[in-house]
Each structure stands twice: as C-alpha cells, then as structure tokens.
Amino acid sequence: MKVVMNWSSGKDAALAYHLLRQDSGISIECLLTTVSEEHDRVFMHGVREQLLDLQAERMGQPLIKIKLPASPDDSLYDRAMRQTLQGFKDDGITAAAFGDIFLDDLRLYREQQLGRAGISAVFPLWKKDTRALVQMVEQAGIEAVIVCVNETYLGKEFLGKKVNADFLSALPPGVDPCGENGEFHTFVSNAPFFSAPIQILAGEIVHKTYDTGDGKKWDTGFYFLDLQASL
C-alpha cells in the first residue's frame, strides 16, 4: 500500500511514521505539510520552512507543501487539498496517514475529505493512551521539543522543554500528555529514521492571536519559540 504521511513536523507524526515503517505492507511515498505562504512556517507549529525541509532531507522523503494564506477560508483549503489528493491518486497513492489520537470529529472530517478522492485514511496512534505514547516517543529515540503553547493551558516556560518523562511529570492537571486538544505543539530534531540530527538554536519567544475568519479573534493566544537551524 502506497501512503502519503501528513507531516506536522512534531512528535505524533514522527511516532506514526516510525510505526508505519515497521509494516512491510506499507510504502511511505512522501510527506505532506501545509505551510503559511506569508510567513513560510508550518501551520500551528510555527516552525520555519527551512527546518521542515531539513526534516524531509534527513528522512530521505519527498516533501509536498500546500501553501495557504495565514487564515484560509474553508473553500480555499478544500480546493487546494482536493487538487493535491487527486495528484496523489494519479501517482498510485491509496492511503494517507495521520498522527491523530482521539478527536473523533477530526477523524471523520479527514475520512470524508479523503473518501471523495478515493483515498483511505490510516491512523497508527488511534485511541492509544497518550501518556504511553509519550513514553513510546522517548523509547523510540524520537527527540522533540515544545515550540508552541496555548496560553490557556501552559505558560511560556514550557517552550523548549524536551518531550520525555520529566516533561510528563511537570504537566498541569487537565493537559493531555500529547497535547491532542491543542495545548501544545512540538518539533522533532532527531529520530531513528533521520540520517543525522538537526542542530537547533532557540530564538525569541513570540505571542500571537488569530482571526477566526469572521473578523473576530480566538479567545486565546499562543506563545511560539522561534527555532533556527544551527548549520
């Protein structure tokens, strides 16, 4: 089965990719990431496109980017995704893999979107215990750091922390260990499927709020750690 991996640059996508590689019946053909065309950064994670490119290079995988405005409307996103999925279908790709864990509405949306293109969805981490998944990340040798936090759940002091047992013990009550509810996002700098680690430097911390698309603001803000590659 030929698969495209939806690559967020973070730990869940990395763990899903790691597990898929162990299945002899699956061939991962490429990575797919949505990138802000204004800022050249991965959506929601805020990771520089340069770092994303380095990940794909270390993985030896082609990287397909869907570039969109910072606040795309649903029709623009759907149109871009349909065109991309049709291209995958034409290339013989029959499935798309995701690092989603337990958000049922998100899974249903992905399955419906893919179904229209005749592509199935694969969820290697689905319904697994998120605390156990963090332990799997560490045990697999996947090295990830926090690059974005939702200020409703976590303070900016969590930025730059490594995802490991110490991180788990420091999480406040009510925060999912994998950040599945959007509490935080990560960047993977090394993994067993990287040809070499990515050396990173921590830059400034930036606070941002987002427009919902109807002229209103989200009721929360986000802190981002501006990582840079140390070349």
d(CA 215, CA 203): 31
Burial of 205 (0-12, 13-18, 19+ CB in 10 A): middle
d(CA 191, CA 202): 19
d(CA 226, CA 231): 16
pLDDT at residue 148 tops 90: yes
Q: What is the per-residue pLDDT for 173?
A: 94
Beta sheet of 143-150, edge-to-edge order: 184-190, 143-150, 222-229, 200-208
The single residue listed with the structure tokens 């899974």 is: 107
Contacts of 207 (CB under 8 A, 6+ apart): 151, 156, 221, 222, 223, 224
pLDDT at residue 218 tops 90: no
Report the DSSP pairing between strands 27-36 and 63-68. Answer: parallel
pTM for the structure as a whole: 0.94
Say which CATH superfamily domain 2-122 falls into. Answer: HUPs (3.40.50.620)
Strand spans (E) along 83-163: 95-97, 120-122, 143-150
pLDDT at residue 215 tops 60: no
Q: What is the pLDDT averaged over residues 126-143?
A: 98
d(CA 186, CA 217): 24
Q: What is the pLDDT averaged over residues 27-52?
A: 94
pLDDT by residue (tens digit) across 175-203? 999 999 999 999 999 999 999 999 999 99
The single residue listed with the structure tokens 């290697």 is: 124
**Cα atoms in the 13 Å half-sphere on the side-chain side of 140:** 26
d(CA 156, CA 176): 17
